[in-house]
């Protein structure tokens, strides 16, 4: 009854305030903006935390942020006392595409792409990662347009080509003398690359390959850059030599001349308007007896002699096909990292807003409460913040492995990048949705970024590997490792499965606030889940095979365990990289907050994955302890929320008006008459 009376009083005061004549409105009735930076004390140095999170090339990142703010090409938007830089998504599709290309030229003139293809040192690759991450913070379309040109087109030439291809194409690609795209997906085949229908034959009389689109389902589809700007493409096609299909191969093909005219025997159509990424000109391509020189076959894996003999050191067609998917690993690494930075942007905006926006009072005539002081609001945002931190450390680790890759490490890079691409992009979409809702009506405004980022990043769960299929690939790789190790009767070595050589971890029968925060317990719980799910998955697949099912069909029937296992693998290695990052920090405030964030990550994973209850790793009583502890850790993280998002190092101009003085930004004086 007391609560009803208080609510009635609030509504009465609200109605009385509305009925007050405009001239009599007292200033002290108005909501005032109070900067959170004044009210929120810092318990650690955000600059030190940023060094951990960004990990490399921070001066290069800040240099590029500065370049964007110096040019009107990046659409400066005055709001109140601040100027923001963000793309104008209200522009027509054609205009968005043209301005994306203009921004690419601007960065070319400033030397942003120097060494992106011609310098393969680990240092150059890390610089490239850092700059692409900054570009993605500004605009996903811009990052994707560059990614297609450099990492798909350029990457295919690097990985599939030989020295003659590198000498002829890479410098011109880096300088944008030519503009490349990557024609793999077709109308009828996306994830199933092996099934693509484009056909290439060899004419030994002329020494040329002949490319054809034999049916409508074979048209190349969703080819970024093809609709308007690209001059060349990598065509993925079935190669038929003397009537025998040798499988999928890659060919360099010109599709436009220097004046932008489509080449003979090629047809190109626009994929049209999309829910996001309209700065990228996705197109469709048909080939009708398109002839290219024999030298345009990217021949590091296989070649065709002048007289038409098929040559390859890799005799196994499955191994040859796997080699042709190498550039997608680069793409998956880039996509996973981009998802982290999108999550950082949305969380920085939503949490800063929640530290200045108030709603309702909890005492009669008392002040309204900050959104982030509500336990429910903390529960919505702070676990996502901890996950984003965890994934930042994991992403940094993946980049280090990638730039130092060897033939022996290719398998782990493929498996981990697949797991991270799925895990990080799913996390990003969930984070964007929660942040959008946490910003209320302001989250719907395009200029406030969070809402629109959902449509810009939604495609991440689909391109360069459907997330569900990638997770099944992860589980298949773990299955193969499990079966091979058992067959050899030797210890596990590889894919991070060495923990399975140790005795099976035991979860305490009664969890407490103390032991659930212990890193040893957290690792044990995650390892127990993974090893048990791997055993269950292998057992179930073997059972179906014993019943006469093929291995592939047995995998399909075991998809639920495969999904559980993929998640368990991904979350376990993320936790381990978090612990490794934490171990590099000396005792003090920074280490204390990292320990708290790591516990939040582990606890929210324990709470959210039904596998811990489904398979009995946690009792219902222990699950209740975990749930209660998540709420407690949220309240302990609350005083550090501002410092934690400031540690992302994203300049104010790249956030949005509601992250700062949203009253000033929406004042009548800011309206353009």
Q: Tokens for 604?
A: 């929210």
The DSSP element (H or E) to which 206 belongs, if any, is none
CA–CA separation, 246 and 322 (whole Å) = 14
Q: Is 499 exposed, middle or buried (0-12, 13-18, 19+ CB in 10 A)?
A: middle
Which of 308, 285, 98, 93 is CA-nearest to residue 203? Answer: 308
CA–CA separation, 126 and 662 (whole Å) = 36
Catalytic residue flag (residue 208): no
- Report whether 224 belongs to an annotated binding site: yes
Q: Is 613 exposed, middle or buried (0-12, 13-18, 19+ CB in 10 A)?
A: middle
Q: Tokens for 655?
A: 């956030």
Q: Tokens for 175?
A: 């300088």
Contact predicate 148/224, CB 8 Å: yes
State CA 615 to chain mean position distance: 30
Q: Is 97 exposed, middle or buried (0-12, 13-18, 19+ CB in 10 A)?
A: buried
Q: Is 493 exposed, middle or buried (0-12, 13-18, 19+ CB in 10 A)?
A: exposed
Instruction: Give the total residue count for the chain.
Output: 673
Give the orientation angle of helix 375-403 with respect to helix 589-608, to 10 degrees: 100
Neighbour count for residue 668 (Cβ, 10 Å): 6
For tokens 């502890």, the residue is 629
Which of 207, 263, 202 is CA-nearest to residue 230? Answer: 263
- Kindly tell me the sign of the dihedral angle through the C-alpha atoms of 296, 300, 306, 311: negative
CA–CA separation, 657 and 23 (whole Å) = 29
Give the orientation angle of helix 410-438 with respect to helix 326-354, to 10 degrees: 30
The DSSP element (H or E) to which 563 belongs, if any, is helix 559-583
Q: Tokens for 474?
A: 């992860």
CA–CA separation, 661 and 81 (whole Å) = 8
Cite the DSSP H helix spans in 369-496. Answer: 375-403, 410-438, 450-457, 467-488
Choose the catalytic residue: 133, 197, 434, 464.
Answer: 464
Residues involved in catalysis: 464
Show binding-site residues for FAD.
224
């Amino acid at each position: 009854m007391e609560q009803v009376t208080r609510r009635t009083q609030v509504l009465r005061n609200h109605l009385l305030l509305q009925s007050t004549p405009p001239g009599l409105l007292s200033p002290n009735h108005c909501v005032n903006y109070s900067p959170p930076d004044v009210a929120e004390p810092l318990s650690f140095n955000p600059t030190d935390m940023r060094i951990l999170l960004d990990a490399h090339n921070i001066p290069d990142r800040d240099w590029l942020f500065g370049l964007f703010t110096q040019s009107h090409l990046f659409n400066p938007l005055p709001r109140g006392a601040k100027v923001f830089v963000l793309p104008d998504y209200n522009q027509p599709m054609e205009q968005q595409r043209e301005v994306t290309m203009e921004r690419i030229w601007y960065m070319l003139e400033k030397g942003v792409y120097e060494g992106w293809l011609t310098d393969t040192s680990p240092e150059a690759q890390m610089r490239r990662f850092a700059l692409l991450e900054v570009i993605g913070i500004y605009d996903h379309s811009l990052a994707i347009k560059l990614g297609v040109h450099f990492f798909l087109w350029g990457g295919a030439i690097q990985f599939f080509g030989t020295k003659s291809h590198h000498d002829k194409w890479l410098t011109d690609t880096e300088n944008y003398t030519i503009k490349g795209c990557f024609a793999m997906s077709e109308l009828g085949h996306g994830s199933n690359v092996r099934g693509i229908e484009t056909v290439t034959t060899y004419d030994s009389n002329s020494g040329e390959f002949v490319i054809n689109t034999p049916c409508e389902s074979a048209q190349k589809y969703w080819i970024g850059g093809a609709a308007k700007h690209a001059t060349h493409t990598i065509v993925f096609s079935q190669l038929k030599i003397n009537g025998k299909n040798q499988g999928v191969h890659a060919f360099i093909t010109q599709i436009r001349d220097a004046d932008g005219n489509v080449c003979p025997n090629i047809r190109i159509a626009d994929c049209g308007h999309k829910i996001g990424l309209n700065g990228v000109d996705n197109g469709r391509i048909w080939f009708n007896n398109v002839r290219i020189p024999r030298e345009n076959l990217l021949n590091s894996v296989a070649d065709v002699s002048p007289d038409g003999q098929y040559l390859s050191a890799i005799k196994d067609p499955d191994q040859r096909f796997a080699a042709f998917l190498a550039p997608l690993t680069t793409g998956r690494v880039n996509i996973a990292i981009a998802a982290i930075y999108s999550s950082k942007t949305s969380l920085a905006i939503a949490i800063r807003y929640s530290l200045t926006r108030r709603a309702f009072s909890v005492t009669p005539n008392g002040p309204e409460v900050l959104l982030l002081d509500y336990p429910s609001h903390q529960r919505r945002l702070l676990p996502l913040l901890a996950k984003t931190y965890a994934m930042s450390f994991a992403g940094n680790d993946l980049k280090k492995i990638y730039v130092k890759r060897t033939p022996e490490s290719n398998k782990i890079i493929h498996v981990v990048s697949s797991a991270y691409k799925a895990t990080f992009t799913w996390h990003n979409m969930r984070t964007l949705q929660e942040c959008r809702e946490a910003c209320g009506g302001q989250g719907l405004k395009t200029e406030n970024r969070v809402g629109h980022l959902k449509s810009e990043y939604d495609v991440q769960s689909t391109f360069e590997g459907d997330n569900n299929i990638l997770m099944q690939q992860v589980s298949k790789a773990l299955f193969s490792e499990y079966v091979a190790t058992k067959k050899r009767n030797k210890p596990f070595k590889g894919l991070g499965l060495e923990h399975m050589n140790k005795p099976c971890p035991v979860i305490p029968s009664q969890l407490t606030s103390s032991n659930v925060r212990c890193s040893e317990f957290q690792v044990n719980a995650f390892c127990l889940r993974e090893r048990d799910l791997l055993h269950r998955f292998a057992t179930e697949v073997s059972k179906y095979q014993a019943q006469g099912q093929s291995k592939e069909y047995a995998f399909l029937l075991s998809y639920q365990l495969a999904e559980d296992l993929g998640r368990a693998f991904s979350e376990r290695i993320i936790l381990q990289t978090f612990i490794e990052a934490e171990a590099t920090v000396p005792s003090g405030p920074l280490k204390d907050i990292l320990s708290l964030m790591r516990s939040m990550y582990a606890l929210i994973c324990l709470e959210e994955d039904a596998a811990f209850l489904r398979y009995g790793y946690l009792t219902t009583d222990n699950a209740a302890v975990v749930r209660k502890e998540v709420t407690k850790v949220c309240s302990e993280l609350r005083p550090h929320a501002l410092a934690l998002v400031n540690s992302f190092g994203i300049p104010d101009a790249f956030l949005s008006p509601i992250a700062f003085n949203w009253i000033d930004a929406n004042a009548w004086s800011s309206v353009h008459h």
